[in-house]
Amino acid sequence: MTRSIARNTSMILTNLEGVPGKEIIEHYGLVQGSTIRAKHVGKDILAGFKNIVGGELKAYTELLQESRKEAVNRMVMQAEQLGANAVINIRFATSSVAPGAAELFAYGTAVKVQ
């Protein structure tokens, strides 16, 4: 399991209002990425068993991590298209849009730093 939130990219990602040690020279506005994922039926059944003994649902944790990475990657791609080299002030949101499906959403401000 890789620890990083985004795929290999030179983009600087922070949820501060700037990049420490660097200066913002250009703003490109809001960038966002989202993905909607549904669960695998088999995983759901296994999770049902897990509901008897409780604890962490590893399959779901991994699924959501992977989806969040996807959302961040889409955001990064959008920022790359704009010519930015950093995304600051990133926020996450999760909502369950339908039974069994969750939307993972990431947004931030694309900037160029020096």
Q: Tokens 């947004």 appear where?
A: 107
Report the nearest approach of other proteins to the CB of residue 24 (Å).
10
**Is 63 in contact with 43 (CB distance < 8 Å)?**
yes
- List Cα–Cα distances, 72 to 4, 33, 84, 96, in angstroms: 11, 6, 15, 18
Is 91 a binding residue for other proteins by CB under 8 A? The answer is yes
Q: Which stretch binds other proteins (CB under 8 A): 25-33, 51-59, 76-84?
A: 51-59
Q: Of the listed pieces 25-33, 74-82, 86-94, which binds other proteins according to CB under 8 A?
A: 86-94
Pick one of 10, 29, 48, 114: the residue that binds other proteins (CB under 8 A): 48
Residue 112 binds other proteins (CB under 8 A): no
Distance of CA 64 to CAs 28, 35, 43, 76, 95, Å? Answer: 28, 10, 13, 18, 12
Indicate the residue among 61 and 81 with the shorter CB distance to other proteins: 61
47 binds other proteins (CB under 8 A): yes
Residues that bind other proteins (CB under 8 A): 3-5, 12-21, 44-45, 47-48, 50-57, 60-61, 64-65, 68, 89-96, 99-100, 102
